[in-house]
Amino acid sequence: MRTVVGIMGSGRSLDEAGRSLAYRLGSMVAERGWVLLTGGSAGGVMDAASQGARETGGLVLGVLRSDDGAEASAHLDVAIRTGMGEARNVINVLSSDVVIALPGGSGTLSEVALALKSGKTVVVLGWDPGTALRTAGPGRLVSASSAEDAMTIAAQEIDRR
């Protein structure tokens, strides 16, 4: 069975340095004869890493959120259309032997957490997931100093709804 390396990161557009890094990592995965696995989208880290691996002659798998493949990168060899939305992140990490995590948002953070919980090694490059927790996604991570403080914060959040 071939080694599968998951490269996870933002699906949003990248600056030139970010795109170059993701492309190079994808290329390096292919150079080693490993299979690249990404979330398969046609943007950001997923697309750049897929392009790098494919142009280097590697096998590229994309595990897609949708069931129609509309968001698929043009650089995939195999697109797995799940229809699972973000739940497909479980497939991403469980199918990877190692996960390399580049800067991303809450989706990437979920992949990092799932990989760690599953006993996988996660190589983090170019960001600190701990710091990212405070700004990722539509939710918020808020620290409390006591039980009373936690309840006050919770009540304020509930009242805002």
- pLDDT of 21-74, one tens digit each? 999 999 999 999 999 999 999 999 999 999 999 999 999 999 999 999 999 999
Q: How large is the average pLDDT for residues 8-13? A: 92
Query: What is the predicted pLDDT for the residue at 97?
Result: 96
- The predicted model scores a pTM of 0.90
Domain 4-133: assigned CATH number: 3.40.50.450
Share of the chain above pLDDT 90, in %: 80
- 3-state per-residue secondary structure call for the chain: CCCEEEEECCCCCCCHHHHHHHHHHHHHHHHCCCEEEECCECCHHHHHHHHHHHHCCCCEEEEECCCCCCCECCCCCEEEECCCHHHHHHHHHHCCCEEEECCCCHHHHHHHHHHHHCCCEEEECCCCHHHHCCCCCCCCCCCCCCHHHHHHHHHHHHHHC
Query: What is the predicted pLDDT for the residue at 81?
Result: 98
75-94 residue pLDDT tens: 999 999 999 999 999 999 99
